[in-house]
Amino acid sequence: MDLRHLETFIKITELKSFSKAAEELFLTQPTVSKQIIDLENYFKIKLIDRTKRNVTLTRAGELLLNYAKDLVSLKKEMTDAIDAFKGLKTGSILVGASSIPGVYIIPQALNEFRQKHEGINIKLTISDSKEIIRSMEQGEIDIGFVGTKVENNKLNFKRFFDDTIIVIAPKGFPNSISLKDIKGYPIIIREPGSGTRNCFDSALKRLHIDIKENLNVVAELTDTEAIKEAVRYGLGMAYISKMAVENEIKKGYIKTLKVDGFGELKRTFFIITRKDKTLSPHAKALMDIIDSWRRNEKT
């Protein structure tokens, strides 16, 4: 059995598509199909049910998936260890981040990392905090950065940096509104699972405000840039990381909206790692860069 076949099998289950898996793995679709056939012949059981519209795992496929992820993760850990022995000159690092750190902070760290370790390939995946936490649990990434902390016996959460959530609005909105009048204004919200959404929901809960009953939600968006553009063109107000909109506010495209009685929202971003897995040398090198930033902030 070839481990590359298991990697293909995992990618198909992630993307729910043979053609998309082939594209991402730089393989032809017939090659991907043959690899799955070879796996099924090896185990002498069907692993994937495939129709024109859907790809689903059989019970045997579901059982194999967990073992496949463990084997692929172990292979990478082994490769990283050998690469580290050679002096961090080759190899790869898989980084996952929620939207705010992934767009506004981590690229700077990765650029510094790249300058120090030119031979190491970097892959950054940006998603919401819930998905990044899931990816870390499954061993799909080496290190993660998220905007929420959850009770999880598999993961370590280490403070990264603090952030402020503000309310922004189109230029035609008033500068401030009262909390009791908030329902009279359209609002854009983030999707469930987003760290920004979790922070906002917690604030609403403390104020006994129900999203469905007390807010006029006009859109639920998953992308910070899309939210900024929607606000800019008048769709409604929104809550967002202050870091993400400083440039737009400075240029006058949008404005900060004060909601009397709401108060300032603070949240913390976290670095996440697996408790049962030694940090790879590549991830440790990235952590060293980030730790140096934090030390400089304190001085």
Specify whether the CB–CB gap between 235 and 186 falls below 8 A.
yes
pLDDT of residue 85: 65
Q: Is residue 271 in a domain?
A: no
- Tokens standing for 86? 């050679």
In a domain, 141, yes or no: no
Residue 177 is predicted with a pLDDT of 92
Q: Which of 96, 147, 145 is closest to 265 using CA atoms? A: 147
Boundary (domain end) residue, out of 70, 90, 114: 70
d(CA 37, CA 41): 6
Strand ranges for the chain from DSSP E: 48-50, 55-57, 92-97, 121-126, 143-146, 155-169, 176-178, 186-190, 216-221, 237-241, 255-256, 258-260, 265-274
290 falls within a domain: no
Please report the pLDDT score of residue 237 as a whole number.
Answer: 96
Residue ranges making up the domain that contains 183: 162-266
What does the DSSP assignment read for 35-48? HHHHHHHHHTS--E
Global confidence as pTM: 0.67
Number of domains in the chain: 2
Domain boundary residue, one of 36, 70, 104 = 70
CATH of the domain at 34: 1.10.10.10
Considering the domain boundaries, does residue 206 fall inside one?
yes
Is residue 88 a contact partner of residue 285, using CB atoms and an 8 Å limit? Answer: yes
Give the end of a domain, one of 70, 93, 110. 70
What pLDDT was estimated at residue 296? Answer: 65
pLDDT at 119: 81
**DSSP code, position 66:** H
Q: What is the pLDDT along the chain (299 residues), one digit of tens a residue?
A: 788 999 999 999 988 999 999 998 888 999 999 999 999 999 999 999 988 778 899 999 999 998 999 898 888 878 877 776 666 677 788 999 998 899 988 998 999 998 888 888 889 999 989 999 999 998 889 999 998 888 899 999 999 888 899 999 999 999 999 888 888 999 999 988 888 888 889 888 988 888 888 899 999 998 899 999 999 999 999 999 998 999 999 999 999 999 988 877 888 999 999 988 878 788 888 888 888 876 665 55
- AA identity, residue 166: I
Residue 5 belongs to some domain of the structure: yes
Give a yes or no: residue 245 inside a domain.
yes
Supply the pLDDT for residue 61. Answer: 92
Which CA distances in Å does 266 have to 49, 122, 278? 47, 31, 31
Tokens for 246?
């400083």
Domain assignment present for residue 249? The answer is yes
Looking at residue 207, which CATH number applies to its domain? 3.40.190.10
Q: What integer pLDDT is reported at residue 297 of this predicted model?
A: 59
Q: In the chain, what is the straight-line distance between the N-terminal and C-terminal CA atoms, in Å?
A: 54
Let me know if residue 137 belongs to a domain.
no
